[in-house]
């Protein structure tokens, strides 16, 4: 039990949470939509502080972040819960645990313990991932501040539904984010997720303004968000608001959770989406959940500057300053050169 951050006290012992765009008004004795924040007598508490449901050492490419210290390791943690209800969630057993099982699983792990484990494993960063880091923000914040003090970076793998207040508060210690932009239709967010599109777009613009390194992931689901017109609108937003250097990860869908009836995404659909991205001017596009190369190419001369096998970097040919060895073009990102 720990008192929550970013909430307002209302009349009648009610509170309003300001962590995410749901802005839940919570009566005494009730939970927020995420099911992990409770109003007890007019005080909002987080129920998952220090309660890890998952801890793992991952390649940073698995987040996926391909332009943030490529080839490094990231200590990845999560607590139960989420503020979304995606019908295709691949981690639904833990993200929906509080809602569907009325359980808060996990094991105690203090922020200091997480940082020490990350250092012991030789990690370059800590990733708040697997579920939605917004809903365990207090835990992430305390861990992130300690991590920065120890020379570690911090990254969010997120649905982007946090508030501007949260991002302003996190900026001193948060370095990068991969945001799952799940489509470009508000009805998709409302019907399949229980949210709205615009707050995600607002968060993306805010992250860019704050100077966070930003990469985008879109899971392409047949019949849901694979329309070429929609994909072009999504890409146009990324180009206009975030810039052509923003990496776009296009992932293949496989049947799971409440969408077991939907077939896997044809690989040709991913290639079509990639072509749309290239035509719009995106310089770094990667396909996920497919047995294809995920190399980083120089956008000017086409030279392979980082070669990958799955999530592993097997060759990094960039100069120490992140420049292409063939033409000198500096590849967008943070810590791109070997050993960074």
Mean pLDDT for 93-104 is: 90
Is residue 110 classed as helix, strand or coil in its secondary structure?
Answer: coil
32 — pLDDT class (breaks 50, 70, 90): very high
| Res 105: pLDDT | 87
296 — pLDDT class (breaks 50, 70, 90): very high
338 — pLDDT class (breaks 50, 70, 90): confident
Sorted by where each starts, the structural domains of the chain and their CATH numbers stand as 2-46 (no CATH), 51-292 (3.20.20.70), 293-340 (no CATH)
The DSSP code sequence of 180-226 is: E---S-HHHHHHHTSS-SHHHHHHHHHHHHHT-EEEEEEEE-TTTT-
| Res 174: pLDDT | 98
Which of 321, 314, 279 lies closest to 296 in space, CA to CA?
Answer: 314
Q: What is the pTM of this model?
A: 0.97
pLDDT in tens, 137-194: 999 999 999 999 999 999 999 999 999 999 999 999 999 999 999 999 999 999 999 9
For the chain, what percent of residues have pLDDT higher than 70? 100
Give the sheet arrangement for strand 296-297, strand by strand: 296-297, 304-309, 312-316
Residues 6 or more apart whose CB falls under 8 angstroms from that of 273 comprise 218, 220, 226, 231, 250
339 — pLDDT class (breaks 50, 70, 90): confident
| Res 324: pLDDT | 97
Distances (CA, A) of 92 to 85, 88, 130, 131, 243: 9, 8, 10, 8, 32
| Contact call for residues 327 and 303 (beta carbons, < 8 A) | yes
């Amino acid at each position: 039990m720990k008192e929550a951050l970013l909430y307002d006290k209302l009349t009648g012992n009610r509170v309003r949470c300001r962590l995410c765009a749901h802005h839940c008004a919570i009566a005494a004795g009730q939970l927020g939509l995420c099911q992990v924040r409770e109003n007890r007598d007019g005080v909002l508490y987080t129920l998952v502080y220090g309660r890890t449901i998952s801890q793992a050492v991952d390649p940073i490419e698995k987040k996926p972040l391909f332009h943030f210290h490529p080839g490094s390791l990231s200590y990845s943690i999560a607590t139960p819960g989420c503020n979304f209800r995606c019908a295709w969630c691949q981690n639904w057993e833990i993200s929906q645990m509080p809602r569907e099982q009325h359980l808060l699983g996990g094991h105690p792990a203090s922020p200091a313990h997480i940082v020490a484990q990350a250092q012991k494993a030789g990690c370059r960063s800590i990733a708040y991932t697997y579920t939605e880091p917004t809903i365990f923000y207090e835990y992430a914040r305390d861990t992130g501040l300690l991590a920065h003090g120890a020379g570690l970076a911090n990254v969010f793998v997120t649905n982007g539904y946090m508030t501007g207040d949260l991002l302003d508060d996190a900026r001193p210690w948060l370095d990068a984010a991969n945001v799952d932009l799940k489509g470009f239709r508000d009805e998709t967010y409302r019907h399949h997720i229980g949210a709205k599109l615009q707050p995600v777009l607002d968060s993306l613009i805010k992250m860019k303004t704050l100077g966070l390194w930003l990469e985008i992931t879109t899971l392409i689901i047949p019949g849901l968000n694979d329309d070429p017109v929609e994909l072009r609108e999504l890409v146009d937003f990324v180009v206009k608001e975030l810039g052509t250097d923003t990496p776009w990860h296009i992932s293949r869908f496989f049947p799971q959770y409440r969408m077991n009836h939907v077939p896997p995404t044809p690989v040709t659909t991913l290639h079509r989406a990639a072509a749309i991205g290239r035509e719009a001017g995106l310089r770094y596009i990667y396909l996920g959940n497919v047995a294809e190369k995920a190399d980083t190419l120089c956008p000017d001369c086409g030279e392979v500057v980082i070669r990958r096998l799955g999530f592993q970097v097997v060759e990094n040919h960039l100069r120490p300053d992140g420049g292409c060895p063939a033409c000198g073009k500096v590849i967008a990102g943070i810590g791109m050169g070997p050993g960074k």
